[in-house]
């Protein structure tokens, strides 16, 4: 069985198009001079993006997340992260593709 850290490392190497697009804006302190990490293990989960200083997690969801079984896992993950004090923002991949400015504004609003 792979450790969560190894799995996260593999996921960073095989990022999808939507993650890559958002990462362009968040990486290297480009967004409000904040440090974001991607594919970061937190407890038993791996989050898509995290800014620890603002206790913010960003999750990107594709169409498979509308499946009841997967969305139930998402709910458990979100509750766990919120119990640790994180704010969790979720965006559909289509939001990243078609309305990145709105996504970035929502992120900005959640941390100011």
- pLDDT, one tens digit per residue, over 57-87 is 999 988 554 555 558 889 999 999 999 999 9
Instruction: Indicate which CATH number applies to the domain containing 76.
Output: 3.40.960.10
Q: What is the pLDDT of residue 100?
A: 97
Residue 24 belongs to a domain: no
Return d(Cα 89, Cα 56) in angstroms, integer.
8
The ranges of the chain with pLDDT < 50 are: 65
How high is the pLDDT of residue 71? Answer: 81
- 90-109 burial by CB neighbour count: b if 16+ within 10 A, else e? ebbbebbeeebeebbeebee
The residue range of the domain holding 94 is 4-13+35-111
**Does residue 62 fall inside a structural domain?**
yes
Q: How many domains does the chain have?
A: 1
40 within some domain: yes
């Amino acid at each position: 069985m792979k450790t969560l850290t190894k799995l996260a490392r593999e996921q960073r190497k095989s990022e999808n198009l939507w993650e890559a697009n958002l990462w362009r804006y968040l990486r290297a302190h480009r967004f409000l001079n904040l440090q974001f990490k991607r594919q970061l293990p937190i407890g038993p989960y791996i989050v898509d993006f995290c800014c620890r200083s603002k206790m913010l997690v960003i999750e990107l969801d594709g169409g498979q997340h509308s499946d009841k079984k997967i969305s139930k896992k998402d709910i458990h993950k979100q509750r766990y992260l919120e119990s640790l004090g994180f704010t969790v923002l979720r965006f559909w991949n289509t939001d990243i593709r078609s309305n990145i400015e709105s996504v970035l504004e929502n992120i900005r609003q959640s941390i100011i």
